[in-house]
Structure formats: C-alpha cells, structure tokens
C-alpha cells in the first residue's frame, strides 16, 4: 500500500469519527428532551398534553420512516442553508443528526417507560414538581438504559456515515467507494471494512462499560 493511500485512510478515519461524534452530540441534545417530552406529555402523565404529544409522535415517526439515503438527498437545500455546502464531512453531519434525533427520542422514551410507576407516584405524593420528577427520578433511574440506547445509535451512525461517503460525505465510505470499488482495489475496501468493525467494537464495549458503571443496581 502506497504512503498516499495510507494517509488517505488515516484522514478518512478521522473524518468518520468527526461526523459520528458531532452528529451524535447534536442529536442527543435534541433527541433526549424530545424522548422525555413524549413520555411526560402523554395522557395521564405528569405533564399530560395531547396537543403536543400527538403531533410530536407523528413527526418523529415520519422522519424515522424515511430511508437515510433518501433523507440525505431530500434535505440538500436545508443542508446548504445551514452549512453553505452539500458536500463534505460537515455537510454530512446535518442529515446524520436529523436521522438520529427520532431514534434517540424513541429509545429514551422506551427507557423511561421501563421505570416502575410506583417511583413516580411516590415522588408525587411527597410533593415533587414535574421538573423535579424528571430530574431526580426519571433521568437517574433511566440513565443506564439510555446510555445503552445511545451506544446503539452511535453504532448505527458509523454505518450511516459510510453511506454518506457514497455521495461526497467523506470518511471511510468515500475511500471504500472511490479508491476501492471504483478502482477494483478490494484491499482498500476490506481495510475500510476492518476499520469500521474495529470502531464499532470499541464503541460498543466502551458504551456498555459506561452503562454498567452508571447502573446503581450493579454497583451496590
């Protein structure tokens, strides 16, 4: 393998990590509150408001139903508006973030629903406000499950970032297509596959380790 190809692989690895990290941070900032909102605004919950819950659930389900490759193309004008380009790693962050937000929201919703209702009722009987229940009951109790869910989303973003590379998003996907597949160089394709597998394994192990550390039931 030539030094140029090695340098490109190293650069593309950095681009992939950059895309995944930034999109995950942005998606978490928006997705986690939306997941909480899906739970607490449902009928019979602490901030019941069907006028918010129903449209929010519809929008989240609608975005989730769009295949990522179609979503990337469909929001190109929005991507250009935000980052003034539709090509490159920074441009790829926009569709990656939008695709990840609804998945994070639904996973956070599922994690919170696993909390026994008795804990919430006990907090309400002690006079806790809805915000106090969210901060001191829902989030702490659901944290290990949320961390596990976020790990799954990060792994999915690694795969999606490779897909983004096929239309000029950069990263390992772009190297695998442009320098591997299109030039009939299977070695480069398999090196990109190997690097992707290593990234996924490291993320999965680290995510599960952090989730176990956050689980009070294990650390008692």
pLDDT (tens digit, 9 = 90+) per residue, 138-176?
999 899 999 999 999 999 999 888 888 777 777 888 888
In sequence order, what are the residues at sequence separation of 6 or more whose Cβ sits closer than 8 angstroms to the Cβ of residue 215?
144
CA separation for the pair 136, 143 (Å, rounded): 11
Residue 44 burial by CB count (10 A; 0-12/13-18/19+): exposed, middle or buried? exposed
CA separation for the pair 205, 196 (Å, rounded): 14
In sequence order, what are the residues at sequence separation of 6 or more whose Cβ sits closer than 8 angstroms to the Cβ of residue 90?
83
Share of the chain above pLDDT 70, in %: 97
What ranges do the domains of the chain cover? 3-215
pLDDT of residue 97: 95
Question: Of 17, 3, 11, nearest to 162 (Cα)?
Answer: 17
Instruction: Using the predicted structure, report yes or no on whether residue 108 has a pLDDT greater than 90.
Output: yes
Q: Where are the alpha helices (DSSP H) in 114-168?
A: 117-125, 130-133, 139-164
Q: How sure is the predictor about 22, in pLDDT bands with cuts at 50, 70 and 90?
A: very high
Residue with tokens 């937000």: 101
Question: What is the mean predicted confidence (pLDDT) over 165-188?
Answer: 79
Calculate the CA 169 to chain-centre distance: 17
pLDDT of residue 216: 67
Structure tokens at 35: 């997941």
Question: What is the mean predicted confidence (pLDDT) over 185-209?
Answer: 90
Instruction: Using the predicted structure, report yes or no on whether residue 34 has a pLDDT greater than 90.
Output: yes
Q: How sure is the predictor about 116, in pLDDT bands with cuts at 50, 70 and 90?
A: confident
Structure tokens at 158: 């690694």
CATH architecture of 3-215: Orthogonal Bundle (1.10)
């Amino acid at each position: 393998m030539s030094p140029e190809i090695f340098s490109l692989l190293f650069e593309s690895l950095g681009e992939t990590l950059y895309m995944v990290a930034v999109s995950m941070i942005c998606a978490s900032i928006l997705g986690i509150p939306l997941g909480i909102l899906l739970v607490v605004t449902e009928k019979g919950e602490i901030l019941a408001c069907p006028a918010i819950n129903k449209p929010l659930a519809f929008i989240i389900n609608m975005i989730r139903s769009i295949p990522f490759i179609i979503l990337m193309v469909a929001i190109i004008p929005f991507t250009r508006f935000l980052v003034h380009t539709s090509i490159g790693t920074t441009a790829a962050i926009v569709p990656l973030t939008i695709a990840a937000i609804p998945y994070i929201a639904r996973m956070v919703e599922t994690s919170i629903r696993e909390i026994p209702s008795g804990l919430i009722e006990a907090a309400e009987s002690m006079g806790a406000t809805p915000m106090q229940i969210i901060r001191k009951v829902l989030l702490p109790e659901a944290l290990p499950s949320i961390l596990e869910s976020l790990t799954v989303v990060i792994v999915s973003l690694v795969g999606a970032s490779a897909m983004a590379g096929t239309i000029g998003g950069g990263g390992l996907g772009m190297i695998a297509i442009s320098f591997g597949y299109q030039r009939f160089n299977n070695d480069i394709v398999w090196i990109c596959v190997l690097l992707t597998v290593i990234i996924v394994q490291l993320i999965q192990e680290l995510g599960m380790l952090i989730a176990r550390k956050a689980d009070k039931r294990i650390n008692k």
